[in-house]
Structures are given as C-alpha cells and as structure tokens.
Amino acid sequence: MSQGEQVGPLDEAVGYVLKRAATALRTAMDAALRPLDLTVPQYSCLEVLSQQPGLSNAELARAVFVTRQSMNLVLRGLQDRGLITRPATAPHGRALPTELTPAGRHQLKAASTAVRAVEARMLTPFTKSQQTRLLNDLLACVEALD
C-alpha cells in the first residue's frame, strides 16, 4: 500500500491466527465427538451440568455464552435422548433445574476423554509451564477486550 506495512502477510496478524486456532480446535472437537453423536454445544452443556448440577436453562445459556433459545434446543435434544432430566413442573419460579441421568454421565465420560485427547494433541508442542503461560495470555486478551 502507501504508508509502510499495513497488516502484513496476514499470517502475522494475531487476530487472524487466533481465529484459525479456534476454528481448528472446533473442527477437531467436532470430529472427535461425532462418533458419540454429540455436537460441541451439547458436550459443553453436559460438562457444565456435571460440574454444576441443577442449573436452569437460562443459567446454562449464560455459562456457554449462547442465548436461552439456542440452549433450549440443545437441552431438548439431550432430553429426548435421555441424557438429562428436567422436571415437568418448576419447583420454584419458572426455572427447571436440569440434572444428568446415569446415561448422560456415561456419555459425558466418553466425550470428556475424547475432548481431552484433542486438547492434549493441541498442547503437544508445549511444556506444562508454557501451557499455563498461554492460558494466562489468552485470559489477558479476553480481559483487554471485554
């Protein structure tokens, strides 16, 4: 262009590479979860639900950064497959506390190992301390943008 370097060969833009990394991870996770008939949002939902049982639809949506409507579809799919349970009537307010079924816990265990394997493959080039450094760097990026 006219005034010096603009963005560079695009491979040098942090934002570009950040998107590429996220896309590659998403693709790899999709492939790893496909044999289990789980999508990434479904797996994320199960994982959160395992760590925080009894969360409502809206709370789950906030935890996974999607809308209530989207999470509602995810939950319905999981419920139809018997991986989670929601009471037909709300015990308090309108919130329906969601819980994992034994089948859901079993499915989550398989999915969790598959996902961890993908993460481990992604982190192969790094030492343990480098991994925490990368983690902190990414967190700093998020905070700087917020």
Partner DNA sequence: TCTTGTATGTCAGTGTGTTGACATCCAGAA
Partner DNA sequence: TTCTGGATGTCAACACACTGACATACAAGA
Cα–Cα distances in Å, from 127 out to 17, 56, 131, 132?
A: 21, 38, 6, 9
**Binding of DNA at residue 139 (CB under 7 A)?**
no
In this structure, is the dihedral angle defined by the CA atoms of residues 139, 49, 30 and 126, taken in order, positive or negative? positive
Q: What does 131 interact with, of DNA, a second copy, none (CB < 5 to 8 A by kind)? A: a second copy
Choice from 43, 56, 78, 83 touching DNA (CB under 7 A): 56
93 touching DNA, by CB under 7 A? yes
**79 is a site residue for a second copy (CB under 8 A):** no
80 binds DNA (CB under 7 A): no
C-beta separation of 60 from 71 below 8 A: yes
DSSP calls for 79-108: HHTTSEE--SS-SBTTB---EE-HHHHHHH
Q: Which residues make beta-bridge pairs with 100?
A: 84
Contacts of 81 (CB under 8 A, 6+ apart): none
Q: Is residue 5 at the binding interface for a second copy, with CB under 8 A as the rule?
A: no
Residues that bind a second copy (CB under 8 A): 1, 6-7, 9-10, 12-15, 17-29, 47-48, 50-51, 65, 112, 115-116, 118-119, 121-126, 130-131, 134-135, 137-146
Residues that bind DNA (CB under 7 A): 39, 41, 56-59, 65-70, 72-74, 90, 92-96
